[in-house]
Amino acid sequence: MRRIFCFVLLSLAFLMSTYAQIQGVRARRGGTYSAVVKNYTDSLRFIAEKLKNDSSDLNPYYYRILGPSTYFSNATAHVLSIDWRPANAPKENSDSLMSGGMLYRDELNRTIDRALVNVYTYNPKLVKHCDSQYKDESIIEMAPVDDQRKKKDDLKTIIDKVPELKDVSELTGDIDVDIHVMRPNFWKTSGNSSLQFTQNYFTKNWYKGGNNNGTMVFSLNLQANYNDQRYIQWDNRLEMKLGFVTTTSDTCHTFLTNNDMLKLASKLGVKARTSWYYTLSTEAVTQFMPGYKSNDKKRYSQFLAPLDVYVSLGMDYKPSLKNGASLSVALLPLSYKLRYIGVDNENVHNNYGMADKDAQNDFGSRVEVNYNMTIVKNVSWRSKLYYYSTYKYVEAEFENTIDFKFSQYISSQFYMRWRFDDSRSRDYYDKKLGFFQMMEYLTLGLNYSF
């Protein structure tokens, strides 16, 4: 009996404990549901209050688009203004004052400004009024909303008093905005000129002997390059060099030319892919003065005798290098060369193997490499490798120029030029050197870059 009684008591206790737990869970769930409903109701109440207080009927920021069509000079001024300021400048309050004492909210009013300017530009006939006509009227002031509601004259009454604008040209009070449209300049021009000198003097009793001589070399390089930064590159270069040397050992001439060149080169490139360009290259080369040899009165060359013209087609590789260096590798498998002698001088014709003709046409291939770099400050290096072959003869040149700049106008220049040309017979040249030729000079003089 006792066992049955204890079992009944334990069962009742267990049932009561379970019922209490269920009621607690229900209470907690009910509290959670109530909190969700309360939060949702509060959010709806907040939105309703916000919409009620932010009514466009009482908001002064919308007066320009809700009122009659009017020309507002501030709208044009704000759209055409430059809003640049330093990145670290403190941000201004979003509410700043407009001219006229009205509150100007940046984000909203900029949108309205753009809409108004769009109407002024494309539909000016819709504009019937001008703000200058009622600028002295008290339309909307910086006063509490309650005070605005109590005003005797509302916006409609004031606007009705303003005469209608029939001609848009009658607008007054416009702000003159000085706008300069800057077109990009894809041309880059540069130039360099130099006048270099060398001089040697020996007394008659100098123990090793020697010839007194003096040298002067003038050079002028002009460049005009076009680059649209996308597809087209057009490089133009004019090179002029003229040098004279005087020596007492030459009894036939007062001076001789030791450096004489006039070259005009143009290269047009159309971008194929990164650093590669389809290229059309043209070049014309001649000289200024008649060419003689020491103690020889025969003339061997002169202006337009010869004139070499090259027209080549191929590819040009122009990678981007650091530190201001530049590299151009032109591979021109299709190349045409015209050599013209524009003087009736038998010795000049014979000198170039054209005794019975004035012009000679050749076809072949051409390679041209140009490299410029600054070694250290005020020391620059320019190098050019030129190779042309007609598969019958080869013509190649390798030029190196190092400029030492001591000041803006004083510099020294080292120039070396190798040349290989087997278009003539070997007997024409020195038997020891064969087809190879070389010249070099080291000078000091004036230099000017622009």
Shared domain for 122 and 251, answered yes or no, is no
Which comes out higher in pLDDT, residue 11 or 352?
Answer: 352
Q: Which residue, 282, 273, 279, is CA-closest to 308?
A: 282
Shared domain for 338 and 400, answered yes or no, is yes
Tens of pLDDT, residues 34-67: 666 677 677 777 666 666 555 445 566 777 787 7
Task: Read off the tokens for 368.
Answer: 């041209």
Q: Contact, 80 vs 176, CB < 8 A?
A: no
Tens of pLDDT, residues 198-249: 888 877 777 667 778 889 999 999 999 999 988 999 999 999 999 999 988 8
Shared domain for 39 and 69, answered yes or no, is no
Instruction: Give Cα separations from 158 to 23, 101, 135, 367 (angstroms).
Output: 69, 18, 11, 82
Q: Contact, 212 vs 200, CB < 8 A?
A: yes
Buried b (16+ CB within 10 A) or exposed e, 14-31: eeeeeeeeeeeeeeeeee
Shared domain for 46 and 141, answered yes or no, is no
Percent of the chain at pLDDT > 70 equals 70
Tell whether 177 is covered by a domain.
no
Range of the domain at 50: 1-54
Domains contained in the chain, number: 3
Tell whether 180 is covered by a domain.
no
For the chain, the first-to-last Cα distance in angstroms comes to: 124
Task: Read off the tokens for 104.
Answer: 């100007």
Shared domain for 75 and 42, answered yes or no, is no
399 CB-side CA count, 13 A: 11
Shared domain for 119 and 253, answered yes or no, is no
Tens of pLDDT, residues 396-447: 999 999 999 999 899 999 999 999 988 877 767 777 777 888 888 889 999 9
pTM: 0.59
Q: How many CB atoms lie within 10 A of CB 230?
A: 8
* One-letter amino acid of 173: G
Q: What is the pLDDT of residue 97?
A: 39
Which comes out higher in pLDDT, residue 51 or 187?
Answer: 187
Q: Quick one: how many helices (H) and strands (E) in the chain?
A: 7, 18
Q: Which residue, 267, 307, 269, is CA-closest to 286?
A: 307
| Boundary (domain end) residue, out of 141, 170, 199 | 170
Q: Contact, 258 vs 216, CB < 8 A?
A: no
Residue 375 CB burial class (10 angstroms; 0-12, 13-18, ≥19):
exposed
Q: Contact, 72 vs 116, CB < 8 A?
A: yes
Q: Which residue, 287, 402, 308, 418, is CA-closest to 361?
A: 308
Q: Contact, 420 vs 437, CB < 8 A?
A: yes
* One-letter amino acid of 429: Y
